[in-house]
């Protein structure tokens, strides 16, 4: 990494330029909750997310091209094709949660999709919906209508991004549901390559870019426990923390329990022992 130029930081990931065509995406072990990065790392979280993302990239190539070029032996770094990113977040929702639930409760719609009356929080939608958002430079992403998104990227790009996003979500949600995990919603980021083709970038279908719920505890009519972050959230609620920076340090039992949940999600979804992944990250690509 001696000659990699740091391009930017997300809350938990770093992006470097390798050369004119390639980037390096590095997933740290940092965890955020209530939008605040906590001072305590979750060991191997970055590897779990990188491995899961690579697993999905390898299995969705027939739906959509993606930016993955190679996994580094550290298991947390991905060499990617450099793209020109679309200025929208491509969110797909299969269930009514988060800002989708809030918008439905006040308007009966989510991003211009009119939904049946009388739905409860966390209900499954009649069919997955595409609910784009703008990339907020500061603070929270803002939901926009399809018309607003089409004005930002063009009507044809919008239609293509919508079709690919729904197909990717449908594939992964069916796959995960058969393995005990509900993917309630997810966010994709697409870019275009030099030939103008739409390519899936970023991380994909991880617990950081999606809501993962344990299927055996699914009970609509209220919020669902998070597959990965529930121990962290419960601990943070218990401390009386006001959810502004800085967050609390996590006790060792919360760290261990949370790490175990990430590893469990990885193993349930991929069918690969996490130890095997650590020895050879390319096992996810088969
Ligand atoms: C890119 N972001 C937003 C890492 C994640 N393949 C690509 N080509 C060009 N640009 C990007 C990608 C990708 N992926 C994606 N920013 C640039 C997410 N970042 C935020 C910082 O941490």
Rounded to the nearest 5 degrees, what angle is found at the Cα of 122, between the Cα atoms of 118 and 127?
75
202: CA distance to ligand 1 center in Å?
Answer: 6
pLDDT, one tens digit per residue, over 111-166 is: 999 999 999 999 999 999 999 999 877 668 899 999 999 999 999 999 999 999 99
Give the pLDDT of residue 177.
99
Residue 210, C-beta contacts closer than 8 angstroms, at least 6 positions apart: 183, 184, 185, 186, 187
Give the pLDDT of residue 136.
79
Output the residue whose Cα is nearest ligand 1's atom 2. 202
Other C-beta atoms closer than 10 Å to the C-beta of 201 total: 22
Distance CA 120, CA 205 (A): 25
Question: Which of 66, 85, 199, 200 maximizes ligand 1 atoms within 8 Å of its Cβ, making it the mutation to test the pocket?
Answer: 85
Whether 13 lines ligand 1, by a CB cut-off of 6 Å, is yes
Q: What is the mean pLDDT of residues 96-112?
A: 97
pLDDT, one tens digit per residue, over 72-96 is: 999 999 999 999 999 999 999 999 9
Distance CA 51, CA 65 (A): 18
Beta-strand ranges (E) seen in 50-157 are 68-71, 77-81, 84-85, 88-95, 109-110, 113-114, 124-130, 133-134, 142-143
Question: Which of 8, 11, 15, 77 maximizes ligand 1 atoms within 8 Å of its Cβ, making it the mutation to test the pocket?
Answer: 15
Structure token pair of residue 106: 């006040």
What CA–CA distances, in Å, run from 39 to 29, 139, 185? 11, 20, 27
Q: Check whether the bond before 85 is cis (ω within 30° of 0).
A: no
Give the pLDDT of residue 1.
58
Q: What is the pTM of this model?
A: 0.98
41: CA distance to ligand 1 center in Å?
Answer: 22
210: CA distance to ligand 1 center in Å?
Answer: 17
What CA–CA distances, in Å, run from 262 to 18, 155, 234? 29, 38, 16
Burial (CB < 10 A; 0-12, 13-18, 19+), residue 186, is buried
pLDDT, one tens digit per residue, over 232-250 is: 999 999 999 999 999 999 9
When the pLDDT of each residue in the chain is averaged and rounded to a whole number, the result is 97
Sign of the Cα torsion 65, 73, 210, 191 reads negative
Whether 203 lines ligand 1, by a CB cut-off of 6 Å, is no
């Amino acid at each position: 990494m001696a000659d990699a130029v740091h391009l930017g930081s997300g809350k938990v990931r770093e992006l470097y330029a390798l050369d004119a065509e390639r980037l390096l995406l590095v997933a740290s072990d940092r965890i955020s909750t209530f939008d605040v990065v906590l001072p305590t790392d979750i060991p191997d979280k970055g590897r779990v997310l990188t491995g899961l993302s690579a697993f999905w990239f390898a299995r969705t190539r027939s739906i959509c091209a993606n930016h993955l070029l190679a996994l580094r032996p550290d298991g947390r770094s991905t060499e990617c094709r450099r793209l020109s990113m679309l200025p929208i977040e491509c969110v797909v929702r299969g269930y009514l949660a988060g800002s989708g639930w809030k918008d439905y409760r006040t308007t009966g719609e989510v991003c211009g999709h009119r939904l049946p009356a009388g739905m409860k929080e966390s209900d499954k939608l009649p069919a997955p919906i595409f609910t784009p958002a703008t990339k907020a430079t500061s603070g929270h992403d803002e939901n926009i209508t399809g018309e607003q998104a089409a004005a930002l990227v063009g009507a044809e790009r919008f239609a293509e991004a919508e079709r690919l996003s729904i197909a990717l979500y449908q594939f992964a949600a069916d796959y995960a549901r058969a393995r005990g995990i509900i993917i309630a919603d997810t966010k994709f980021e697409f870019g275009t390559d030099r030939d103008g083709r739409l390519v899936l970038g970023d991380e994909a279908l991880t617990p950081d870019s999606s809501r993962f719920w344990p299927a055996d505890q699914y009970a609509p009519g209220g919020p669902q426990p998070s597959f990965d972050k529930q121990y962290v959230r419960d601990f943070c609620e218990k401390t009386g923390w006001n959810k502004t920076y800085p967050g609390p340090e996590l006790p060792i039992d919360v760290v261990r329990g949370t790490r175990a949940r990430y590893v469990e999600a990885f193993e349930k979804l991929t069918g690969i022992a996490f130890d095997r992944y650590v020895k050879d990250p390319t096992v996810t690509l088969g």
